[in-house]
Amino acid sequence: MGSSWGNLFSPHCIVLLLLNVTHCFSFVQTVERSGHVDECSALFQFKESFTVNKSASVHLFAFPKVASWKREGDQNRSNCCSWKGVECDEESGHVVGLDLSSSCLYGSLNSNSSLFQLVHLQRLDLSDNDFHFSEIPSRLGHDLTNLTYLNLSLSGFSGQLPTSLGYLLSLNFLDISNCKFHPHVPSSLGNLTQLRYLDMSSFYEVSNNFSTGQGIDSWSWVGKLTKLHTLLLTETNITGKFLCFMANLTKLEHLNLATNEISGQIPSWFMKLAKLSTLLLGQNNLQGEIPRSLFQLKNLESLGLAYNNLSGLVEFDQFFQLKKLKVLRLSYNKLSLHIKTNLSFTLPQLQVLRLGSCNLTELPEFLRSQYELTDLYLGQNNIHGRIPKWLWNATRETLFTLDLSDNFLTGFEQNPIILPWKNLITLNLWSNLIQGSLPIPPQSIRNYIVPENHYSGEIPPSFCNLNHLHILDLSNNNLSGMLPQCLGNSSGLEIFTLNSNSFHGNIPQLCPTGESSLKMVDLSYNQLQGKVPRSIANCTLLEFFNLGNNQISDIFPSWLGTLPALSILILRSNGFHGMIGKSATNHDFPKLCIIDLSNNDFSGMLPSNYLENWNSMKFVDKSSEQAYFVVSSTSDSSGGYAFLYSITTFEKGVELDYFQTPYLLRLIDFSSNRFEGEIPAGIIGNLRALISLNLSNNALTGHIPSSLGNLTDLESLDLSRNQLSGRIPSNLAKLNFLEYFNVSHNYLRGPIPGGQQFETFLEDSYQGNSGLCGKALSKKCESSISLPPSIFEEDEDSGFQIELDWYVVLPGAISGLIVGVVAGNFWTSKNHEWFVETISRSKKPRGTRARRGHRN
């Protein structure tokens, strides 16, 4: 026995043993390093089936991982285990993990993809790519049954979710959010009983085909997933009331059902979900009171109930029972909060508190002891008085967002020259009563929003040093002085609104370096002078530009036509002058929807060359879900800000303030200038999306083009105070949406067109045209003799302008009647075709219509 052990440890045996161990270790290393040849080949084929396109991924740090995948000369010794995103098992060498998230992949994923040869895969992440509306092949569920982790979010998949997903019985993580799947979810997903994490937020696109919500009972399969600790179903269009199957999910820690159509009361069985740390139910149709059972969720850290119809008086100190609470959102319900001032117990340290529109009348005293607050929103309440000093003492180091907008605050308890919050990113004091000079924000500020107050004085030059500024909104205050010329130097500035103040002097050189994020510039209603800076041509992202109601003296800034995104251009009520020449290219102002040049000193012909190129006024997508023109700031420090375009126009006979400019609005206002010549008939009639056209108070001549009858969406047409002649075209009666029509103070004659719409317009729409007659006027048309239009009355759009009225030629016509009868037979026999054509034209009925139409 002893000799056997001795032989085993002889030098010869030890050497052999070491050689074997070394060989085995080397083999394992080779397998680990190289992987299986067939799997490496499948990976390479998978790579080759796609193209790399930067726009296929939206993540800031996206990069093409597959770009580094290379085959060695000997394909039998592929080293795919070292490729980016590839993970191999240390022992078997099989590919068990593939992470190609945010890899800029573009193309289709088909059922014959080599991906499905990787049958040992346990983790697959294809999120944030563009698979071009591919359907998920059913093979994924049949062949990749070892998957425990599957992430297909934000990847452009569409179609029906395959039933075979329910075969992935080992799956504990599934994310198919932000795709465009069919809304029907196969109940086979209820077989995934090992799931811990499920995210189906925005998993399908609400379209015209699938616009109805999915009843909450169609999600009953979720009740079988009893091991879930995270369930995210935001923006899935779930409708109906809560059903008790969710009470089975007792291991849930994070539940997000926000932005759906869930109705009814918050059920009491939520108390069974004792492990919940996140409960987000905002933006639904929940009603009733906040149940007391919620205050028994002792692990709750984040509670979101904003934007519902919850009501009743809430004793706010109940929330302080939730000692772990960090985030509380109750804004925009019908709640009234009762907050006690003397609290004898320890309060939870909140980080986010949002109590907008909660009927508060003062800043809550408990904020004195909130030393970790980063986000405070108390907008749209009835808070009076001054912002107390204790607020900045408590939050000086921590506060990122302060929003006290739409209250009745008059200022700070101690007016600071410099705001005390060292790390403040967003300050929103919109619509208060704050007086004094503008407080200087810290260098960290991105969004400085203080419109509709009583701030006075000048803009401090130190504002030019705010290098991170995204939004500067000082509109509707009492500010004055010259604008610091350095204000336009910030390349990150997106929204620049200083309208309705008393600034004077020149406009700063905006976008001077050519690198700019500017999307919205509103300097209207000031006293600015000089010319429009040419540097604005560098603002290639500019969408909204409003210089209305200033003292600018310049010619038409035609170079603005190069801006590819410009949608709204307002230059009204300035000193612009001269002729508007021809456009430099056929693509100037490619996205222009609204232009207002009214009340200036422009002269010459109407700019038909520009009108011809304004394609956004020729067609509008009425199926778009966008209701208003809006510009969004990319500053997302507090959820981002979306600014609605606000404009003032003279439309439908009155000055209209659009605080929210409708997305369908297409408007041209060239009124109150010195334009002359004819209205370009063949061009103006192509702008079929126009809602409002105002050419009044110019020196236009010629006829009203009948092509205006093509503008079937037109609601307001003002041609008054020109020198137009001829008749009002009868086909204007086709304008079923026309609410305002004014052709007063011209040289028009003949009958007013018939039709119900024209019968609604009063006499002042036609006054100052002595030759007009009709029901709306005191001068009635001759009803005893029904006379057709003159055969010489032009087709107005042809440019032929000789006009012969029947009441002038009638005596001669009667005198020649006898001669005409005698010679008629002989003449018509030789000119039969012309005669028939002329008579049938003269008897063509005037355009009339039934009731006014309604928009969908």
The predicted-structure confidence for 37-91, as pLDDT tens digits, reads as follows 899 999 999 999 999 999 999 998 999 999 989 877 655 556 899 999 999 999 9
Query: How many domains is the chain partitioned into structurally?
Result: 1
Mean pLDDT value across the chain: 85
DSSP H or E segment with residue 577: strand 577-579
In total, the chain counts a number of residues equal to 856
Res. 167 pLDDT band, cuts 50 70 90? very high
Q: Does a structural domain hold residue 380?
A: yes
User: With b meaning 16 or more CB within 10 Å and e meaning fewer, what string describes 759-797?
Assistant: eebeeebbeebeebbbebbeeeeeeeeeeebbeebbebb
Strand 647-651, strand 642-644: pairing: unpaired
Distance separating the N- and C-terminal Cα atoms of the chain = 99
Q: Give the up-direction half-sphere exposure of residue 742: CA atoms within 13 A in the CB hemisphere.
A: 21
Res. 206 pLDDT band, cuts 50 70 90? low
CA–CA gap between residue 65 and residue 75 (Å, rounded): 20
Partners of residue 647 on adjacent β-strands: 658
Helix axes 817-830, 832-842, angle to 10 degrees: 120
Diameter over CA atoms, the chain: 152
Which contacts (CB < 8 Å, 24+ apart) does range 275-279 have? Answer: 275/229, 275/250, 275/251, 275/299, 276/252, 276/300, 277/253, 277/301, 277/302, 277/324, 278/253, 278/254, 278/302, 279/255, 279/303, 279/304
CA–CA gap between residue 600 and residue 532 (Å, rounded): 15
pLDDT in tens, 609-621: 899 989 999 988 7
**pLDDT over threshold 70, residue 181:** yes
Decide if 578 contacts 602 (C-beta within 8 A). Answer: yes
- For the segment 524-528, the average pLDDT, to the nearest whole number, is 98
pLDDT in tens, 444-453: 999 999 999 9
Give the least confident one: 4-8, 139-143, 288-292, 594-598: 4-8
pLDDT at position 6: 45
Sort residue 578 into left (φ over 0), alpha (ψ -120 to 50) or beta.
Answer: left
Residue 388: domain span: 349-445
With 0-12 / 13-18 / 19 or more C-beta atoms within 10 angstroms meaning exposed / middle / buried, residue 151 is: buried
Q: Does a structural domain hold residue 363?
A: yes
CA–CA gap between residue 101 and residue 558 (Å, rounded): 45
Q: Does a structural domain hold residue 408?
A: yes
Phi, psi (rounded to 5 degrees) for 631: -120, 130
The sign of the CA dihedral 178, 180, 184, 189 is negative
Q: Does a structural domain hold residue 592?
A: no
pLDDT in tens, 727-764: 999 999 889 899 999 999 999 999 999 877 788 888 99
pLDDT at position 589: 94
Which of 125, 113, 51 lies closest to 85, judged by CA?
A: 125
With 0-12 / 13-18 / 19 or more C-beta atoms within 10 angstroms meaning exposed / middle / buried, residue 76 is: exposed
- For the segment 563-590, the average pLDDT, to the nearest whole number, is 92
CA–CA gap between residue 325 and residue 370 (Å, rounded): 12
**pLDDT over threshold 50, residue 601:** yes
- For the segment 334-342, the average pLDDT, to the nearest whole number, is 86
CA–CA gap between residue 328 and residue 338 (Å, rounded): 16
More confident residue, 785 or 713: 713
CA–CA gap between residue 635 and residue 574 (Å, rounded): 33
Res. 522 pLDDT band, cuts 50 70 90? very high
Q: Does a structural domain hold residue 460?
A: no
**pLDDT over threshold 70, residue 28:** no
Res. 193 pLDDT band, cuts 50 70 90? very high
**pLDDT over threshold 70, residue 670:** yes
pLDDT at position 666: 92
Res. 491 pLDDT band, cuts 50 70 90? confident
The DSSP 8-state label assigned to residue 653 in this structure reads T
**pLDDT over threshold 90, residue 834:** no
Res. 8 pLDDT band, cuts 50 70 90? very low
pLDDT in tens, 393-438: 999 999 999 999 999 999 999 888 899 999 999 999 999 999 999 9
Res. 35 pLDDT band, cuts 50 70 90? low
**pLDDT over threshold 90, residue 828:** no
pLDDT at position 641: 66
Cite the beta strand spans of 274-374 per DSSP E. Answer: 278-280, 285-288, 302-304, 309-315, 327-329, 334-338, 352-354
pLDDT at position 30: 41
**pLDDT over threshold 60, residue 805:** no
More confident residue, 801 or 70: 70
pLDDT at position 153: 97
Partners of residue 262 on adjacent β-strands: 240
CA–CA gap between residue 182 and residue 135 (Å, rounded): 10
pLDDT at position 786: 36
pLDDT at position 840: 33
**pLDDT over threshold 50, residue 841:** no
**pLDDT over threshold 60, residue 635:** no
Res. 516 pLDDT band, cuts 50 70 90? confident
pLDDT in tens, 636-669: 544 566 777 777 777 677 777 777 777 788 999 9
What is the model's pTM?
A: 0.83
Instruction: Report the percent of the chain where pLDDT is more than 90.
Output: 68
Q: Does a structural domain hold residue 393?
A: yes
More confident residue, 405 or 808: 405
Instruction: Report the percent of the chain where pLDDT is more than 70.
Output: 83
How distant, in Å, are the alpha carbons of 112, 164, 557 from that of 127? Answer: 20, 20, 46
Give the least confident one: 249-258, 334-343, 739-748: 334-343
- For the segment 812-840, the average pLDDT, to the nearest whole number, is 39
pLDDT in tens, 497-511: 999 999 999 999 999
Both tokens of residue 96?
């068990």
Both tokens of residue 811?
């005596």
Q: Does a structural domain hold residue 360?
A: yes
**pLDDT over threshold 80, residue 852:** no
pLDDT at position 648: 76
**pLDDT over threshold 80, residue 379:** yes
Res. 802 pLDDT band, cuts 50 70 90? very low
**pLDDT over threshold 70, residue 218:** yes
Both tokens of residue 321?
């029972």
More confident residue, 856 or 308: 308
Q: Does a structural domain hold residue 387?
A: yes
How distant, in Å, are the alpha carbons of 158, 219, 385, 545, 571 from that of 695? Answer: 49, 58, 49, 21, 15
